[in-house]
């Protein structure tokens, strides 16, 4: 048996620089990996996928990114996947799992990794990088050790709907700015996010940032020296706080 770690990715900032003819958005962002990880146990002689600790949002069929990554590299294996990265929160859990499989298989080009999703090229390499294009252009950056507090609400944001809302805003003349160009669109796609983000900023400071299209938000630094993870009741339900750190990949 072989054990693999699949670290969550955090989008430190996100700029949308254009929209291609095929509808995909060109991005410029900084991504980092965290010490919040999924754990994969690989049986090279097996042919199965067993999930532990996952919600119903994680597919168990051929659409699962672990299965798709194995097919991409023309490999079979028995995989037991222990989910610790929340699903649907924008932390790249599925992409991280796929990236771990690609590393185990010897790695592929960023262009091939992109076939599995825009976050997979970065998740295959990890660490800290400037990510451009639709996710295929990676420029490694020097590692910076950062403490981070994740704020994860109990609802998600539909990524497709978020980008549709972004396009609608642009068509109306809106020009995104700030650290995350998707913040306003994500709030339209999921109104509960707007309420929760305002509440978090009022209680923990204006530096609270939306991670990518959400729904995870984060703050640089740790809020507690006593505990790593705790729940707070917000205006739209429970928010899970998780203190973590960046990792060099």
Tens of pLDDT, residue by residue over 131-153, are 999 999 999 999 999 999 999 99
The token pair at 176 is 């995104």
Measuring CA to CA, which residue among 148, 126, 137 is closest to residue 223? 148
Bridge partners of 131?
Answer: 29, 138
Are 105 and 152 within one domain? Answer: no
36 and 134, same domain (yes or no): yes
Angle at 238 between CA 232 and CA 240, to 5 degrees: 65
My answer on whether 68 and 151 are in the same domain is no
Residue-wise pLDDT for 44-87, tens only, equals 999 999 988 765 567 777 789 999 999 999 999 999 999 999 88
Alpha carbons 232 and 122: distance in angstroms, whole number = 31
- 78-82 and 25-43: which strand pairing? antiparallel
Q: How many CA atoms lie within 13 A of 94 on its CB side?
A: 19
38 shares its domain with 62: yes
Q: Which two tokens stand for residue 205?
A: 């400071």
Please write the tens of the pLDDT for every residue from 80-106: 999 999 887 889 989 999 999 999 999
Do 169 and 66 reside in the same domain of the chain?
Answer: no
- Other CB atoms within a 10 A radius of the CB of residue 2 amount to 10
Cis? peptide before 203, omega within 30° of 0: no
Q: Among 140, 174, 201, identify where a domain stops.
A: 140
Is there a single domain that holds both residue 156 and residue 132? no
Question: Residue 106's pLDDT is what?
Answer: 96
156 and 220 assigned to the same domain: yes
Catalytic site positions: 9, 119
* Residues 212-240, mean pLDDT to the nearest whole number: 95
Check pLDDT > 60 for residue 33: yes
Same domain for 207 and 132: no
Residue 223, domain extent: 147-247
Are 207 and 220 a contacting pair, CB within 8 Å?
A: yes
Last residue of a domain, one of 107, 140, 173: 140
Contact of 78 with 43, CB cutoff 8 Å = yes
Q: What is the CATH number of the domain that holds 200?
A: 3.30.70.890
Count how many Cα atoms sit within 13 Å of the Cα of residue 172 in the half-sphere of its side chain.
Answer: 9
Q: Nearest CA to 243 among 10, 6, 35, 7?
A: 35
Q: Based on the number of CB atoms within 10 Å of its own CB, is 31 exposed (0-12), middle (13-18) or buried (19 or more)?
A: buried
Least confident residue range of 32-36, 85-89, 141-145, 196-200 = 85-89
Note whether 110 and 157 are same-domain residues. Answer: no
Do 225 and 113 share a structural domain?
no
Q: How far apart are CA 61 and CA 38, in angstroms?
A: 19
Q: Do 110 and 168 reside in the same domain of the chain?
A: no
The total number of residues written for the chain in this structure: 249
Closest CA to 24 of 14, 33, 32, 16: 16
Q: How many domains does the chain have?
A: 2
The span from the CA of 5 to the CA of 28, in Å, is: 26
Report how far residue 159's alpha carbon sits from residue 165's, in angstroms, rounded to the nearest whole number.
10
Statement to judge: residues 116 and 164 lie in one domain: no
């Amino acid at each position: 048996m072989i054990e693999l770690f699949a670290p969550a990715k955090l989008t430190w900032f996100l700029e949308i620089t254009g929209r291609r003819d095929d509808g995909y958005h060109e991005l410029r962002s900084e991504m980092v990996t965290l010490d919040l990880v999924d754990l994969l146990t690989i049986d090279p002689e097996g042919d199965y996928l067993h999930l532990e600790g996952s919600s119903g949002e994680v597919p168990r069929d051929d659409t699962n990114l672990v299965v798709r990554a194995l097919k991409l590299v023309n490999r079979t294996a028995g995989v037991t996947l222990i989910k610790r990265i929340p699903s649907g929160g924008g932390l790249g859990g599925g992409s991280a799992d796929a990236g771990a499989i690609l590393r185990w298989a010897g790695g592929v080009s960023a262009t091939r990794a992109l076939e599995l999703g825009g976050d997979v090229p970065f998740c295959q390499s990890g660490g800290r990088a400037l990510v451009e294009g639709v996710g295929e252009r990676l420029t490694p950056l020097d590692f910076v050790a950062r403490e981070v507090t994740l704020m994860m609400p109990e609802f998600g944001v539909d990524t497709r709907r978020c980008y549709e809302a972004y396009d609608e805003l642009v068509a109306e003349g809106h020009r995104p700015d700030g650290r995350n160009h998707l913040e306003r669109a994500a709030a339209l796609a999921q109104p509960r996010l707007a309420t929760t983000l305002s509440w978090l900023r009022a209680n923990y400071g204006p530096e609270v940032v939306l991670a990518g299209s959400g729904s995870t938000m984060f703050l640089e630094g740790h809020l507690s020296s006593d505990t790593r993870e705790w729940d707070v009741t917000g205006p739209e339900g429970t928010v899970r706080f998780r203190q973590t750190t960046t990792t060099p990949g």
